[in-house]
Structure 1
Amino acid sequence: MFKQLFVCALALLLAGPLAAQETELRPVIHEEVWLMKRLGAPVVAPDGERAVVSVTEPSYEEDEDVSDLWLVTIDGSEPPRRLTATPSVESGVDWRPDGGAIAFSAKRSEEEDAEAQIYVMDMTGPGEAQQVTELSTGASNPKWSPDGSMIAYESRVWPGLEGDEANAERKKAEKDDGINVSRYEYFPVRDWDHWRDDKQTRLFVQAPEAGAEPRDLLFGTELVSGPGYEGGLNAAWTPSGDALVVTATENLHEAAHSIVERHLYRVPLEGGEPHRITDGSDFNCGGAQFSPAGDYLYCHYEPINDWVYNHNEIARGEWNGSGIDGELDVLTAGFDRSVGGFDIAADGETIYFDAADQGRVRLFAMAADGSEITVLDAESRGVYGGVQAAGNFIVANWESSAVPVEVVRVNAETGRHAALTDFNAERLEGLDRPAFREFWFTSSKGRRIHNWLALPPDFDESKQYPLVLFIHGGPFSSSLDADHVRWSPHLLASEGYVVLLTDYTGSVGYGAEFSRNIEGDPLATPGEELVEAADIATERFDFIDPERQAATGASYGGHLVNWLLATTNRFDALVGHAGLVDLEGQWATSDVIYHRERMNDGPPWGDSEVWDEQSPSTYAPEFSTPTMLTIGEQDYRVPLNQTLAAWTYLQRMQVPSRLLVFHDANHWIMKGKEARHFWNEVHEWLAEYLKDE
């Protein structure tokens, strides 16, 4: 009886706004977006009957966020059960191969210099998680050995130092010396929102019990001794348990002038030099997964060629116990979409993966040898992620423009899913969050362009509403059939606007050629398509007011906002976050640069005319549209100088403008109160130019 009631409740959740149409709906406000629970990817138990998922309950007070692990039954027979109840965030969950325990990383000490450590929780009965590591530099990403007798994990330690005592002394010395300076001899020096430090990621193993002695498997090796080493590691135990396979690079120090290559290395458990097992300078390979039988190694594969954009593929090689026999076989080479996450079924015969496809993220099944790929539901809406095989089913996260994220069980035969959780059902109930509308048009260059429309609250087809463009970043991204906690189309629409989301040239999910067409043409054609999209939408839909229109965007979308500022005056107002105004200025100060000169047909001092012709600053005398600019001071991807320069041009041309600098923010505004303030400012700015008096 309980199971029937639980399934009915989840069915109502998936119905979302349809079930609430007969009641009075409330509009989306920032609280409805920010306070939605956020789910990590589910981690399925070895028996395929349970999964653990991380659930964050956000707050506007930073120290009041709650993030815990929950246990989900995959047959839906029981409601989700909370496993942890502590203020700290748990991450990197891994099941012991027999399903009797999980390991995860968490910071539970309240000491000022405390670091995250590895904890083990018994899953056969009640009990508290037990801390098993105590490194001064912390521990993360645990991985159980095949026999469950050991745990591997990562820690960021200082090069040349062996043992935790030496690292603890170095940590204390750096804290006590009072010198706040960094020294660099190689690029890059920054990463997203922080200056790079001297530490490196190394691989440790130990018994899964408190007081066990950790062993640093990479200390003293040539791999970590070079200037270009960096390891995301993403370790996987070999089937025999005598080694681990990690992902690393040896040429990060060449990032200013070369493509950084990432490859797989076998790290022997007994110690010794890691052996590179993927050989070649024409591809990257990482994130190793072994087949259930242990006879194949699979990895994420990306070609290295003349194109900046390449699909992420799945490749495999025969595993001989110590390496790969022959060359990797790229299984998805004929599949014209980029692969997201993937997982291998327990019988080893099928691989399930997700891929962006025409404004959605859909699920696909592929024979393990790559001989056949099928879409599970060619008509699916929404976005799948965190794909995990579970017996005869697939477990994943799913959300759509109408329904917030939940864990779902997918029928591998039909592609249809059923919700296993209802974490956001209560907040969704009665919320005016309609599904996006969809349309296509053919651009002036003959390209098919996909679009979504987000509609305002209490939408009335017979009325006219202002139009606001919502330009996605990337550019190798897309506007998906989902809401977004940072850049919410529903929240933008909530003040009475129709919001247009256009997948301009360069967007993904439409084939490699469509994405690559932006190379050498970074702003002009996408900007042209955005204007065409606004024109087409206005022409097709009578509910769009042709006289009141604006454009907004962040990151690459912010670049395009500045391009619209430079090249058209058809919009009444603009809002740009973290956008460049000068291509060379962005190239010279960003934390990643080499792909930018490849995008622009050569370095700034070469023959390419792109640097000048497609820099918004070139057309500063044409700036005339009222513009609000926002930026995070800690943004090192699109550094502060670009927004300050755009602001200076606007002020010099005496254009109505507003500048917001979020001093503690990086590329994203991630503090709740600051995010709410940002949206209040956006709505105030747009209302000034779009609302009727």
Structure 2
Amino acid sequence: MKLKKVIFLSILITFSVRAQITMTPDLLWRLGRVSLEDLSPDGRSLLYGVTFYDIQDNRGTKLVYQLPISGGQAVLIAGEEVSVSSAGFIDNNTVYYISGGQIFVKSGNQTTQLTDIEGGISMGKVQKLSNGTYRIFVVLEVSASDYKLPTYKNLDKARFRLYDDLMYRHWNYWEDNQVQHIFYADVPPGTSKVKKAVFKDIMENEPYDAPLKPFGGTEQFTGTFDGRYIFYTSKKLRGKAYALSTNSDIYRYDTESGTTTNITAGQMGYDLNPTLSPDGRLLAYLSMERDGFESDVPRLMIYNISTGQTHMILDDFYLHDVVWESNNSLLVTYDDSATVQIGRVRIDPRRIRTSFTPVTSGWFNYGSIKTAAGILLASRMDMNHAPEVFRIDRKGQAMQITQVNSSIFQTIRKPIVTRRLVPTTDGRQMLVWVILPPDFDENKKYPVVLYCQGGPQSPVSQFYSFRWNFQVIASQGYIVVAPNRRGVPGFGREWNDAISGDWGGQPMRDYLSAVDHVAAESWADEEKMGAVGASYGGYSVYMLAGLHEGRFKALISHCGLFHMESWYGTTEELFFANWDLGGSYWDKPIPMSYTKHSPHLYVDRWTAPLLVIHGELDFRVPVEQGLQAFQAARLRNLPSKLLLFPDEGHWVLKPQNALIWHSEFFRFLDSFLKN
């Protein structure tokens, strides 16, 4: 994307905002999407990315800027010609970035192409070792084995797949005998166009992925500053064992001997994201205790590199980011009562005593924390503001650093975000966000939309989603009810665990408690209420369709689970299905997930119009789930629509598809809740 194109887009955005006083789907896709890339070692400069989407080209372009912490003009580093995937500092004066599948290094006005690898890399980073050498990390695809499909004489036009084990597909791709490995090469500064032959595969001849597919990134590997050790995450299982387990581990690769050691053997859940202390003595990582439970509480672990001892130092919070602030202090982000905050963990390496102190507060979500030289940066968002970069002082006060979308959000009229505690049917208190339309008038009545969260172990926090955007929904004149029902983190382990095996039980009662509580308000039109959701939220919509007793006049399910037996037989990550459903449908006794909590059992009670949305490349919740639900609704003579996206998976990611998604979403809601 040319720079002049970006400038034109900014002008277009400004014009659009002046013409539209509330957020719309079209304007949402014209926001710049900000990412915090890195902070320089001296704490004086940051790198941030901004992704702009071109609706006509149907793609996004990411630009990376460098900005002084003290203020001043942002300088474009890369992305004007070819989109950037990631960037970081090598030292105070040198940055690297990945563009077009290669790594580039920029120092001052000089840019050097560091790698020249045929086919490009999927991800990578550059580390400056203590001797001044650059260590280049790249992730490349390699063959898991020498297996090849059988050939058949005179049948050269045949196209087929052949499998003899699980997992034969994952999320949105078919197993193709390819795995990703971490490679490294050590080169002096000033080197250019390093070929693949120079790199060393740290998992040579191993048929496993590192980082973990499909979502693992460079946070899953790191190297010691002296260059000797590389620590990385991998789940060294294949076939059915891989599909049934979350038992990834942290491995230590010795670059001198070429040997590998599993430093988390015996820790049975996910072990993830190794990060080194500034002095290189300690390694922090996250560890889940229970094998098979992908949403277990991540424990903060410390591994002493010289002694080999490991200590668990924090298991009270659902953690996300972990970064070292000093040799005896770490900063973490964690779920806290439907927000994501930053906390400080102090440790005494001799006794492994810890103290935890909240750093931030308020109705915000913090993430992507970076710290150096006493400076703390993080991205921050809330339901009315897309992410921007903030600096947080020692008192937890945040100051906005980037202003990519500020002019837009200062101009539009925003919904009103409120929070209430709602009594549940079993005597608990549930935090529910209620988002009121812009210019809300308590003397009027408004249609109500119940939002059902996916996950299922995902909090309804202060996120600013570019798909399920509460600001957009409320700005179309709807009251949004967003409950933190049973099963979301941030409210203690018991609340988080309660949904497993009980998908259609207490969580459904929680949803109805929340919407009934709001429906009792004079400004809520209880005759015009709908329910919407994706994934487990889509399942919730299908389940509520048979339980709502006339409450809802419109239902929208995106990639929802409808028939639990058929879903179990076609999904891929079976550890998730086994844990959350309580086992398979042939177990004895048969889990209630199949006998009581499968939405298809209640189709005879369906009364509300239904919009089914599904991506045909969704292998987590295969498209057949949506087809079955739509077919059932039509056979029940209910007004229904089926919206399919042949080139999307579990999420709708392409700009034009997303705009169609929003258009059909609101057309359906409006036709039953406004007319």
Aligned equivalents of 1:33, 1:240: Cα separation in 2: 46
Query: Which of 31, 55, 58 is 2:50 aligned to?
Result: 55
What is the CA distance between 1:71 and its match in structure 2?
0.8
1:344-376 alpha-carbon deviations (Å, 9 max, x no partner): 11x323211111111111111110345110111
Question: 2:347 — aligned with what?
Answer: 368
Question: 1:17 — aligned with what?
Answer: none
What is the CA distance between 1:533 and its match in structure 2?
0.6
Aligned equivalents of 1:400, 1:138: Cα separation in 2: 34
Question: 1:652 — aligned with what?
Answer: 635
Aligned equivalents of 1:290, 1:228: Cα separation in 2: 18
Q: How does 1:30-429 map to 2 (within 5 A)?
A: 30-62=25-57, 65-75=60-70, 77-96=71-90, 98-107=91-100, 116-122=101-107, 125-136=108-119, 138=121, 140-146=123-129, 147-159=132-144, 180-206=159-185, 207=187, 209-213=191-195, 214-218=197-201, 221=204, 224-225=206-207, 232=216, 234-255=220-241, 258-270=244-256, 272-304=258-290, 309-320=295-306, 325-326=308-309, 328-333=310-315, 335=316, 337-345=317-325, 347-369=326-348, 371-378=354-361, 380-411=362-393, 413-429=394-410
The answer to whether the Cα contact below 8 Å between 1:300 and 1:312 also exists between their aligned partners in 2 is: yes
The answer to whether the Cα contact below 8 Å between 2:202 and 2:253 also exists between their aligned partners in 1 is: no
What is the CA distance between 1:534 and its match in structure 2?
0.8
Q: How does 1:531-610 map to 2 (within 5 A)?
A: 531-539=512-520, 541-568=521-548, 569-606=550-587, 607=589, 608-610=591-593
**Is residue 461 of structure 2 the alignment partner of residue 468 of structure 1?**
no
Q: Secondary structure at the match of 1:325?
A: coil
Distance 1:479 1:294, change over 3 A: same
Distance 1:40 1:184, change over 3 A: farther
Aligned equivalents of 1:666, 1:132: Cα separation in 2: 32
Aligned equivalents of 2:343, 2:513: Cα separation in 1: 33
What is the CA distance between 1:622 and its match in structure 2?
1.3
Normalized against structure 2, the TM-score is what?
0.89
Aligned equivalents of 1:416, 1:529: Cα separation in 2: 35
Aligned equivalents of 2:518, 2:56: Cα separation in 1: 40
Question: 2:24 — aligned with what?
Answer: 29
The answer to whether the Cα contact below 8 Å between 1:550 and 1:686 also exists between their aligned partners in 2 is: yes
The answer to whether the Cα contact below 8 Å between 1:239 and 1:290 also exists between their aligned partners in 2 is: no
1:368-401 alpha-carbon deviations (Å, 9 max, x no partner): 34511011134x1211110111322310101112
What is the CA distance between 1:307 and its match in structure 2?
5.8
Q: Secondary structure at the match of 2:539?
A: helix
Distance 1:509 1:272, change over 3 A: same
Distance 1:291 1:220, change over 3 A: closer
Aligned equivalents of 2:558, 2:578: Cα separation in 1: 23
Distance 1:484 1:227, change over 3 A: closer
Distance 1:308 1:377, change over 3 A: closer
Aligned equivalents of 2:617, 2:376: Cα separation in 1: 39
The answer to whether the Cα contact below 8 Å between 2:114 and 2:193 also exists between their aligned partners in 1 is: no
**Is residue 615 of structure 2 the alignment partner of residue 629 of structure 1?**
no
Distance 1:85 1:449, change over 3 A: same
Distance 1:66 1:87, change over 3 A: farther
Q: Secondary structure at the match of 1:204?
A: strand
1:661-683 alpha-carbon deviations (Å, 9 max, x no partner): 11111111112222111112121
What is the CA distance between 1:120 and its match in structure 2?
1.6
Distance 1:126 1:283, change over 3 A: same
Distance 1:256 1:643, change over 3 A: farther
Distance 1:531 1:635, change over 3 A: same
The answer to whether the Cα contact below 8 Å between 1:92 and 1:105 also exists between their aligned partners in 2 is: yes
Distance 1:578 1:160, change over 3 A: closer
The answer to whether the Cα contact below 8 Å between 1:591 and 1:637 also exists between their aligned partners in 2 is: yes
Q: Secondary structure at the match of 2:78?
A: coil
Aligned equivalents of 1:63, 1:691: Cα separation in 2: 31
What is the CA distance between 1:257 and its match in structure 2?
6.2
What code does the residue aligned with 1:465 have? Y
What is the CA distance between 1:134 and its match in structure 2?
2.1
What is the CA distance between 1:25 and its match in structure 2?
7.6
Question: 1:506 — aligned with what?
Answer: 487
1:47-98 alpha-carbon deviations (Å, 9 max, x no partner): 12111112101221336633111112223x21322211434332342322x3
The answer to whether the Cα contact below 8 Å between 1:383 and 1:481 also exists between their aligned partners in 2 is: yes
What code does the residue aligned with 1:591 have? E
What is the CA distance between 1:41 and its match in structure 2?
2.9
Aligned equivalents of 1:248, 1:545: Cα separation in 2: 52
The answer to whether the Cα contact below 8 Å between 1:409 and 1:418 also exists between their aligned partners in 2 is: yes
**Is residue 432 of structure 2 the alignment partner of residue 451 of structure 1?**
yes
The answer to whether the Cα contact below 8 Å between 2:208 and 2:238 also exists between their aligned partners in 1 is: no
The answer to whether the Cα contact below 8 Å between 2:35 and 2:387 also exists between their aligned partners in 1 is: no
Distance 1:441 1:131, change over 3 A: same
The answer to whether the Cα contact below 8 Å between 1:471 and 1:553 also exists between their aligned partners in 2 is: yes
1:565-620 alpha-carbon deviations (Å, 9 max, x no partner): 12223211111111111111111111212221222222111112331210010112
Distance 1:306 1:657, change over 3 A: closer
**Is residue 591 of structure 2 the alignment partner of residue 613 of structure 1?**
no
The answer to whether the Cα contact below 8 Å between 1:143 and 1:235 also exists between their aligned partners in 2 is: no
Question: 2:465 — aligned with what?
Answer: 484
The answer to whether the Cα contact below 8 Å between 2:144 and 2:208 also exists between their aligned partners in 1 is: no
Q: Secondary structure at the match of 1:559?
A: helix
What is the CA distance between 1:217 and its match in structure 2?
3.2
What code does the residue aligned with 1:553 have? G
What code does the residue aligned with 1:613 have? K
Normalized against structure 1, the TM-score is what?
0.86
Query: Which of 680, 685, 691 is 2:663 aligned to?
Result: 680
Identity, in percent, stands at 22
The answer to whether the Cα contact below 8 Å between 1:632 and 1:666 also exists between their aligned partners in 2 is: yes
Aligned equivalents of 1:463, 1:195: Cα separation in 2: 52
- Runs of 5+ consecutive residues of structure 2 not aligned to the other structure: 1-17, 150-155
The answer to whether the Cα contact below 8 Å between 1:257 and 1:594 also exists between their aligned partners in 2 is: yes
The answer to whether the Cα contact below 8 Å between 2:179 and 2:209 also exists between their aligned partners in 1 is: no
* Cα RMSD for the two superposed structures: 2.5
What is the CA distance between 1:274 and its match in structure 2?
2.0
What code does the residue aligned with 1:478 have? P
Distance 1:267 1:180, change over 3 A: farther
Distance 1:416 1:25, change over 3 A: farther
Question: 1:523 — aligned with what?
Answer: 504
The answer to whether the Cα contact below 8 Å between 1:221 and 1:274 also exists between their aligned partners in 2 is: no
The answer to whether the Cα contact below 8 Å between 1:230 and 1:252 also exists between their aligned partners in 2 is: no
Question: 1:113 — aligned with what?
Answer: none
Distance 1:298 1:649, change over 3 A: same
Q: Secondary structure at the match of 2:465?
A: coil
